[in-house]
Amino acid sequence: MSAPLSLGIDIGGTFTDLVIHDPRDGRAIIWKESTTPDDPTRGALEGMRRVLEKAGAMPGQIGRVVHATTLFTNALIERKGARTGLLTTAGFADVLEIARERKYELYDLFIEMPKPIVPRPWRREAKERLAPDGTVEIALDVEAALAEVDMLVEQGVESLAICLLHSYANPVHERAIGAAIAERYQNLSISLSSDIAPEIREYLRTSTTVANAYIRPLAEIYLERLEQALAASGIPGGLFLMLSNGGLTHVSEAKRAPVQLLESGPAAGALAGAWFGRNAGLERVLAFDMGGTTAKLALVDDGEPLVAYGFEAAREKRFLRGSGLPMQIATVELIEIGAGGGSIAYRSDLGTLSVGPESSGAQPGPACYGRGGSDATVTDADLTLGYLNADFFLGGAMKIDKAATDRAFGALASSLQVEPGRAAFGIHDVVNENMAGAARVAIAERGRVPSEYALLATGGAGPVHAWHVARKLGVKRVVCPPGAGAGSTIGMLMAPARVDRVASHSAPLASADLANLEEMFAGLEEESLDVLRLTGADVGQRTTRRLADMRYIGQGSEITVTMPSPLTEAGVRAAFEAAYKALFARVPPGAAIQFVAVRLSVSAPMPGTGGRLTLTRHAASGAEKGMRPVFFPDEGRILQTRVWNRYALSPGTRIEGPAVFEEDESTFIVGPDATARLLDDGSILAEAK
């Protein structure tokens, strides 16, 4: 292969992580570049230049580029998308404001609900009506609908979401008006709900389609510029995007439905947790990813992260369900459980210590970055407690201003009327307790027990906090994989191509036409394969999962069930009842079951995905780096702790805690009650005694 190398680029809120990987021998080179919020591409291209230089590689050797970004999520949060209009069925213009008609905090008299992306004057109505089964009740008046769109365009609307009632059952009206609008306004971006989210529930479907329309012009411009910049840099390989479902897609699909990319970075972290967990021989893993802005958790069962078919974006209250914009897309089931390294600590109105959700971001960053930040952050606390080495931050590539950290803690400690060291420990412990508490609830809600899992830490801050979070959860095994600080980027490079498709199908199981369902699955698979082939994935080695959303008749929600092949009434019933019982412990006797939707997930390995990861090894003689004072909360005191260079350790090496393992991108902290062992794949497994 003339261009054998793969390049991963993950643009986060604080750092842009870049990894060059050679699938032939597993060799990987990692670089972390500060994110440039004003123009994320600038930081990515500078980081690309640096990582190529570090690897001693030329741009012409890069056979593919895999990318994840928070840009589109941030556009939703900050309301910096395109001027977007909505065309919907007459009488349904206020769906976005009516929403679910319930408050996420029942007794909050001053509650702020998510503001609709589309303002009321830009929501227009079309004369048409479909019945729930898709039959036409009122024919579409195309000319009247075009007149409504004319007014939107005159008012400066750049992108249009079309979401007509019951179009999930029959897309005929949406496709007709979409074609007419596209012919009249060739520069107007158009998103059809029957293409983006063909599912029941009007508000969820409209919210998802509007979000896609809102970020689509931004995605098209950004991805085109990135493609051009990569080509101008001399990179011959194609650009692939990480999806929220844990798979990759090609640029044209990402431009069509960028809403699928909203959780791309965190999904890659979960994928890395699953991949490293399999390499370490662990089938049940809590993939814990803590970066500069947030900390997230994903459950990995049988070597695969759990996948959900909906999540919330741009929440008013980060940890409160119902306070965000619902998105009906396939996504790795991610649980936001806490703050990140850049999260700011402050004295609350009650006089107590609070941490986050406000973050110092990439600019100015934590006080220790020396870029003008004056607030104490989680990273500053970790530096003060001895977890981080000021002389070896990012492998010594970044100069740390310890004096700025001391000033920040002086101000915070004074406001709290405590010693600076106590304030630093307070930040660390508050963050750990918040994460453990949120994780404990999330794990219990899924019917799992934390002690049955190993905690696998990625992200720049994940390995620093993982041991203490695990102790609070009752988890006895903690894994720090090689290159943990760039874990999400490594996960992207190992990801398969993946397509998820859905079709609504409402029918009781007892009277369902199973032959028709087989035809629906076949149609979804053919549609998925058309997308997969454009990625260059090996479709001959594909994995296909046939699923269905099902419930008991009369219930308001459903569960997703893996379907047997071939479909039989008895087999489907058994699959549904087993899945229902696993969640709720029992099934109601004699209740009738119904289908709500059918789903298909198809994944296939990408060329250039290797089965190994090998980082540059150092001489064994340099394994011990010395001693430094480190605070351990279980002991309640500072302990002189041996510091190790993880690159110089050999597989099989056993080290008694306490210990600090340093690598360029992160630092792994192990408590005094642990034994750490280097596994064959380069991961460090720490187990409580």
- Contact present, 313 and 211 (Cβ < 8 Å): yes
**189-226 tens-digit pLDDT:** 999 999 999 999 999 999 999 999 999 999 999 999 99
Strand-pair category, 543-552 with 497-508 = unpaired
Rounded Cα distance, 555 and 591, in Å: 11
The band of 285, judged by pLDDT with boundaries at 50, 70 and 90, is very high
Q: Between 202-232 and 71-78, two packed helices, what is the crossing angle to 10 degrees? A: 130
608 has a pLDDT exceeding 80: no
User: Taking the complete model, does pTM exceed 0.75, yes or no?
Assistant: yes
- Contact present, 377 and 360 (Cβ < 8 Å): yes
Q: Which residues make Cβ contacts (< 8 Å) with residue 109, sequence separation at least 6?
A: none
Rounded Cα distance, 486 and 491, in Å: 9
Q: What is the arithmetic mean of pLDDT over 374-384?
A: 89
Rounded Cα distance, 385 and 409, in Å: 12
Give the pLDDT of residue 53. 94
As a dihedral over the C-alpha atoms of residue 210, residue 212, residue 215, residue 220, rounded to 10 degrees, the angle is: -140
Q: What is the arithmetic mean of pLDDT over 295-324?
A: 86
Give the pLDDT of residue 620. 78
Give the pLDDT of residue 213. 98
Rounded Cα distance, 427 and 412, in Å: 11
Q: What is the arithmetic mean of pLDDT over 370-396?
A: 86
Q: What is the arithmetic mean of pLDDT over 339-362?
A: 81
1 has a pLDDT exceeding 50: no
Look up residue 3 and give its two tokens. 């261009």
The larger pLDDT score, comparing residue 338 to residue 391, is at 391
Give the pLDDT of residue 610. 65
Look up residue 236 and give its two tokens. 């011959």
- Region of 200 on the Ramachandran plot (φ > 0 left; ψ -120 to 50 alpha; else beta): beta
Q: Between 420-445 and 462-473, two packed helices, what is the crossing angle to 10 degrees? A: 60
Strand-pair category, 15-21 with 593-604 = unpaired
Which domains, and CATH codes, for the chain?
5-76+221-261 (3.30.420.40), 81-215 (no CATH), 264-340+431-493 (3.30.420.40), 343-428 (no CATH), 497-604 (no CATH)
Look up residue 373 and give its two tokens. 């930040």
Give the pLDDT of residue 127. 97
**64-100 tens-digit pLDDT:** 999 998 888 888 888 999 999 999 999 999 999 999 8
